[in-house]
Chain A
Amino acid sequence: MSNKFVRITDISKDTPQLAHVDNADLMPLPIDVEEPAWGEISEATREDFACILDDTAILPIPKPKTPAEQKAFVEKFLSGMEKLFTAENNWTFLAQLVTTMDHCAKCNTCSQACHIYEASGENEMYRPTYRTEVFRRIYKKHIKGEMWSDWRNGKIDLTWQAVARLGELAYRCNLCRRCAQTCPIGADNGLVAREIRKIFSQEMGITTPELHKNGSMLQLKSGSSTNMNSLVVKDNMEFIDEDISEITGYEYETPWDVEGAEILLIHNAGEILAWPDNVGAFGIILEAAKKAGIIRSWTLSSDLAAYDSINYGVFYDDVQYARTALLHANAAKKLNVDKIVLGECGHAHKALTVIADRVLPQELLTPRESCFPLLREIVMSGKIDFDPSRNDFPVTIHDPCNVTRLMGIIKPQRDIVKKLCPQFREMVPHGVHNYCCGGGSGFAIMTRNNIPDWRHKVAGRKKLTQILDAFGDCRGPETPKYVCAPCSNCKGQIRDIFDRYEMKEKESLIYSGLVELIVNAMTEVKEGFIKWEDEF
């Protein structure tokens, strides 16, 4: 049975679960599908970790079992919260955080903007203001020490359950900041989710293994969250170069560690393993651009972490973020390149282009730009021939939040698909007002417990609806359709929701990036770069 409405004060109660998301309450999908029940969380996991929020468990919070452990758990959280509001420990986000704490009018105007809240059937715990309100009440009462805080700000009991649920709730947000876009005052509930994640990581040492141990820490250790060191990545790239050259008939070789190159291209290394066509397509386009005189030269770097643009710290930890950004910046400095260009990875765009702008010292600020304006310049240059009829199938674009809403890069990718794809159509809404794919902020790489259940049927529900609606005129398996999702994280999520809802079989839907469409239309390349048959 669903219990969609929960009070703010319910978060503190000693109950097995704060709320349940019932399949019957989920936002309807435009396909006929019966949602399976939530997957079980093992007894062992329930025994060891605090699985007390909803039907899944993302942040592995060790369950404090004795009263002493529970007290220490709460105190540790408070200690982190106190640091979060100091200039020394949180200079990066203090201004944004304090203003959100102090000026929210609690009007709930942001609620309808949240795809998770909407898709869940408006379950109260997922309302963007719910976690913020709990956090604010704790802050005002226990950190700021406001007089008559219960009266002024509302009551909250600081139990270990409230802290654990708050930590979990920080991982029920894609950090897409669509809610913040609608706030009449300028408050940012997406930011609050990220700040709570920081307390758990930076103070309490509680993180998700995908983002931390197997993510940012592995990147610092081996150079990539894929665990590829520089030798392995070079081997893999060499194989991709040969393979793609053979398939396309376009000979090229990825250049490595070219000092003084114009462009240092940094891919999300996940592409190399999961979507090698993407890195191959980049290789072909940049080589063609070089031959056409559009760019002077390009290179990849084999320095630690410099061949993997991911920076998971941007999702949960400022220190881990800074460490990775520093490695990227140092590699560019070492090669003395003119600029860094980010491949098709949304969060890497935001991390290195925008946030690093006020984190790195001036001497490390090699100019950074998105691949999309460069790709537009190449496609629009008139120096490379394209045949749009090769892309004559229905295409829509999914906008990665980090690239569009958070960086304002909207038009370049549209100019390209409008030129190369005769059957392009937009999702509604799109561009700066897009919806997240549901895999944002790291969820796309999480498969533990029954996490996929949550990210598919709740977080990804709105995106699937949007995609199907965009192809409303050609539904069914007869017409192959292409979702251009120029971001590794988004692709991972879209791949998974397509699998879950059998979209390949039922709708002939495939997904891939933007560069694949570009190469598919290049006349210098053999026809059929996009291999529909491989997808079905």
Chain B
Amino acid sequence: MSIVAYLVAYTAIVVFLGAVFARIMAYKRLPQHVRWELYPVAHEAKRAEWGGGYLEEVDWWKKKREVSLFGEMKVMIPEILLLKGVWEHNKSLWWVSFPFHFGLYVLAGFAGLLIFGAILHAAGISMFPGAGGTAGLMIAVTSIVGPVGFVLCAVGALGLGLRRLTNIELRNYSSVGHYFNLALFLVTVSVALYTWRTVDPEFHTMRGFVYSLLTFKFIKFESSLFATQMILIFVLLAYIPLTHMSHFFMKYFLWHDIRWGDEPNIDNPETNRRIGEALGQPVSWAAEHIHADGKKNWVEVASYNPMRPDGSEPE
């Protein structure tokens, strides 16, 4: 069982990183899209306060654009950490969506603490129960953060599942896949909670498992419950970026590249190269007015006037 858990863990890490990388690359490989920004654009410094942008200026192309990273952070941090948008527009869902998502952030922190602890251990600092100083503090914090994350996530997953089941409007849009995803979360964090309560109250075994993964010094653990817990956690880790839940990192592109993508095309050779590349592609739309044949490119099709094919002016 221990070997299986290690194998699953390594495989899951590879799948997770590979899937994240593949998703990002697939997005990056998409052609240059047109501007489709939606205001308020958070990096518009002062103007963001009223939802305005640089197009409010006369001769805007002659003026220096002010882009505020602080403005973006001011919007993104409450949006990501507190789900501000859901709070404002869908409050009843927020009560279950927030614990779920915040629980995941807490668990990400928990994973960070475990990794840090394992690194300290590898550096010769004892991370065994009863350790003092930094190690002792780390153990104490980890022991609190882990269960809090598991509980929040379990409450959220259960709440989201029940809401999808009981609210007819949400049920209409929910597939078996939705329920499976939420059930997978619920089962995983429930098993983790049970394991913490019964087998690994200070996460010493879990930290040892992480230590083994990092150092390739594998230790056999006795508890099949613990092994089951680790298998579930890593299966879930691999599964997330394969589904729509990949929005946890793809959101960056949806917001920064599309919603806030207001970069004007001024002296931008790379953008113009990509536009040129796009315009050179063949068009095969079949409607008669398009006059495409699968060979003519966008420049040729757009330059053609179907109502004045000879290029004449109206009388």
- Chain A interface residues (CB < 8 Å from chain B): 5, 7-8, 76, 79-80, 83, 87-89, 91-96, 98-99, 102-113, 124, 127, 129, 133, 150-154, 177, 180-188, 191, 201-205, 212, 217-218, 220-223, 229-230, 304, 319-320, 322-323, 326, 339, 353-355, 357-359, 361-362, 365, 367, 369-370, 372-374, 376-377, 404-412, 431-433
Contacts and interface: CB of A to CB of B under 8 A. Distances in A.
Interface of B: 27, 30-41, 44, 47, 50-61, 79, 83, 85-86, 88-90, 93, 97, 168-170, 172-178, 244, 246-247, 250-251, 253-255, 257-259, 262, 264-265, 271-272, 275-276, 278-279, 281-290, 292, 298-299, 301-308, 313-315
A183 B89 CA distance: 9
A410 B305 contact: no
A217 B308 CA distance: 10
B32 A304 contact: no
B32 A408 contact: no
A534 to B, nearest CB: 33
A106 B173 contact: yes
A362 B272 contact: yes
A132 B14 CA distance: 33
B313 A304 contact: yes
Given A79-B286, A409-B53, A432-B39, A369 B33 contact: no
Contacts of A79: 286
Nearest to B79: A184
Contact of A432 (B51, B285, B313): B51
Contact of B33 (A8, A92, A151, A186): A92
Contacts of B298: 91, 322
A109 B89 contact: yes
B182 to A, nearest CB: 12
Contact of A339 (B59, B88, B262, B285): B59
A103 B247 contact: yes
Contact of A355 (B34, B41, B170, B271): B34
**Most chain-A CB neighbours within 10 Å: which of B47, B79, B279, B286?**
B286
A102 B38 contact: no
A410 B258 contact: no
A325 to B, nearest CB: 8
B51 A410 contact: yes
B33 A93 contact: yes
B55 A202 contact: no
A203 B287 contact: yes
Contact of B175 (A112, A153, A180, A322): A153
A411 B50 contact: yes
Given A153-B175, A153-B177, A89 B285 contact: yes
Given A79-B286, A186-B255, A323-B305, A361 B59 contact: no
Nearest to B167: A108
A313 to B, nearest CB: 10
Contacts of B168: 5
11 contacts: A88-B282, A91-B278, A103-B247, A112-B90, A184-B79, A202-B290, A203-B287, A222-B314, A322-B301, A408-B41, A408-B262
Nearest to B160: A107
A334 B206 CA distance: 72
B34 A151 contact: no
B61 A367 contact: yes
A181 B38 contact: yes
A104 to B, nearest CB: 7
A108 B90 contact: yes
A236 B262 CA distance: 38
Nearest to B48: A408
Contacts of B265: 357-358, 362, 365
A97 to B, nearest CB: 9
B202 to A, nearest CB: 35
B277 to A, nearest CB: 9
B250 A354 contact: no
A88 B51 contact: no
A412 B56 contact: yes
| The 3 nearest A-B residue pairs measured at CB | A432-B51, A186-B254, A408-B53
Contact of B174 (A76, A106, A304): A106
A339 B61 CA distance: 10
Contact of A319 (B60, B86, B97, B290): B290
Contacts of B283: 88-89, 319
A370 B289 CA distance: 31
A83 B285 contact: yes
Interface centre among A102, A127, A150 (most CB of B within 10 A): A102
Contact of A202 (B85, B262, B285): B285
Given A221-B308, A339-B59, A374-B58, A151 B176 contact: yes
A333 B247 CA distance: 43
A431 B50 contact: yes
Given A88-B284, A220-B307, A222-B314, A369 B60 contact: yes
Contacts of B313: 230, 304
B55 A361 contact: no
Contact of A220 (B27, B175, B276, B306): B306
Contact of A410 (B34, B37, B56, B262): B56
Nearest to A302: B313
Contacts of B58: 369, 373-374, 376-377
A103 B250 contact: yes
Nearest to A365: B265
B85 A187 contact: no
B289 A205 contact: yes
